Structure 1
């Protein structure tokens, strides 16, 4: 149970990072 919670927590954090990267890429594409 604890391990599963930690993994899903990590997954959420990684998803946020991926979302930020996507937003940054979009901004660069729109900026050029």
Structure 2
């Protein structure tokens, strides 16, 4: 059970990081 929470937390963190990078890329595209 605890391992599931650890995996879920890591997955959520990687997903948020990917989304953040995509937002930065979109902003760079808009400014350029």
Structure 1, unaligned stretches of length 5 or more? 1-6
Aligned to 1:18: 12
**Cα RMSD after superposing both structures:** 0.4
C-alpha displacement at 1:29, in angstroms?
Answer: 0.4
The runs of at least 4 aligned residues of structure 1 exceeding 4 Å deviation read none
| Corresponding residue number in structure 2 for 1:3 | none
